Amino acid sequence: MRRGWFGLCVAILIVLVGKASAQAETCVAGAPHVAEALNLYTAGAYTDAMNAFSCAIAAAPTDYSNYVGRMQSAVLARDYVRAVNDANTLNDYAPDLFTTTLQNYDTGLAANPNDIHTLMFRALLNWVGAQDGLVIADTELIIQLDPQNAFAWLFHGSSNKYLGDEFTPFADFQMAVNLDEGNYSIYALIGSTHAQTNSLEDALLALNRAILLNPQDARSYYFRGVVYSNQQDYSSAIQEYTTAINLQPTYLDPLFDRAQMYTRQGNLDAAMNDFNRILELDSGYKLAYLNRGVLQEWAGNIAAALPDFARYIELNTTNGYLPALPALIDGVTPVQIMPNQTAQLVISGSVGQIITITAASPGGRVDPLVLLLAPDGVTPIAGSDDPSSGERSPRIASFVLPQDGAYILYVTSSDPFVANQGQVDVTITAG
């Protein structure tokens, strides 16, 4: 996910249940919210349309077409934070609709290349998808057509900043502010862009302004926490994340990052509580499984860690399992790890045999995770990611094989958001 994930965190998401419950008090059950929203949108009442789409989402949280409607309404109502959140939701939970919507915008613009609204919508989706060159092309056209368009200046500057331009984005951001000075979401997105590109002091200035204008903006508190965490001020980061969570209890990013801060402070029980809460809200949050498993490993509770490691591997192996290779006993077997792939080694053993398994990546290019399956090929019986804090080479020490047969050892990366391809050397010793 784009423009919400940074360092320790995952994307800017507000869980669907949370979105629905947040609107429930103002929505009339059974009312034709979609028809109302479309009529309001057609009439140019974009804020009211946005609210009506929110009620439609409350009634049918998994009808993602309503997120498209609310996203477009939010763009035109100048609530760019809401629009970004909805675009990210589409990208994460309805990727096919995300792609189809982009294609629809392409089709519309082929017929009418100067349709500013459609250019804005397409630029937003491409921004979420990290297609910065496309964003710049669309926003430059918008600026030619409408030099007073604050959205275009904002996202033009943001995409240039993500591409490494340290100079021109400031002029773009200032134009956006000048054109819409009281809009908190402009400052919020300027701040998050700076936070994600390591311009931390600039980020704080913008985020402070966003919070002054809108003290209920959980996203800005979250990114202020990101700034503090990157300044290694973990206590302040936890305070900001907690504020964001109090404002939006189903907001996963600050929950995850707060758990990471607690881990760094050695408050493992608090970290475990946050990981548990994340998985109650989103059972597909793979990094929460991984990190919860690591905490269990550190506590010596491998039996509890194994299902979490197995679930992480299942969710992360989107590019497939590599063909199984025979493992060398009392030697080193190198395997090549590609992003979102899992290697398999076959270990032929007998009941009572004692083995030790370690894995290390030459040059540290891969942070490996290993998981040993029973001869049934399903049941995890041993595993390791980080045996202790700061130790990246997993180790299964003096494990007694429970039966005769061919065991499968999964080898994969436990850091899926970096260039994690490379060699991992697996050493297996017997006795």
Give tens-digit pLDDT for 252-299.
Answer: 999 999 999 999 999 999 999 999 999 999 999 999 999 999 999 999
Q: How far is CA 56 from CA 62, 65, 300, in A?
A: 10, 10, 47
Using CA of residue 286, residue 290, residue 296, residue 302, what is the dihedral sign? positive
Domains identified in the chain and CATH numbers = 16-262 (1.25.40.10), 325-430 (2.60.120.380)
Name which of 266, 274, 425, 242 is nearest 335 in CA terms.
425
Supply 150's token pair: 């604050």
For the chain, what percent of residues have pLDDT higher than 90? 85
pLDDT at 15: 31
* Confidence bin at 8 (pLDDT 50/70/90): very low
Q: Between these two residues, 18 and 309, which has the higher pLDDT value?
A: 309
Token readout for 296 is 């269990």
- The encoded tokens of residue 205 equal 């200035």
Give the span between the Cα atoms of 370 and 391, in whole angstroms.
14
User: At 264, which amino acid appears?
Assistant: R
Whose CA is closest to 50, among 37, 63, 61, 39?
A: 37
| Nearest CA-CA partner of 409 in 384, 392, 388 | 384
CA angle 108, 109, 112 (to 5 degrees): 90
List phi, psi (to 5°) of 410. -85, 135
The model's pTM: 0.89
Please give the Cα distance from 12 to 191 (Å, whole number).
14
Q: Are 381 and 373 in contact (CB under 8 A)?
A: yes
Judged against a pLDDT cut of 90, whether residue 227 lies above it is answered with: yes
Closest CA to 150 of 187, 122, 114: 187
Joined tokens for residue 387? 């045996």
Q: Exposed (0-12), middle (13-18) or buried (19+): which is 39, by Cβ within 10 Å?
A: middle
Which residues lie below 8 Å from residue 267, measured CB to CB, with a gap of 6+? none
Residue 11: pLDDT band with limits 50, 70, 90: very low
Mean per-residue pLDDT over the chain, rounded = 92
pLDDT tens figures, 160-177: 999 999 999 999 999 999
Degrees, nearest 5: CA angle 141-147-150 = 95
pLDDT at 183 > cutoff 90 = yes
pLDDT greater at residue 390 or residue 417:
390
Average pLDDT over residues 132-143: 98
Distances (CA, A) of 287 to 102, 128, 206, 282, 414: 28, 21, 29, 11, 9
Please list the residues that pair with 373 across neighbouring strands.
380, 408
Q: Please tell me the least confidently modeled range out of 98-112, 230-244, 350-364, 404-418.
A: 404-418
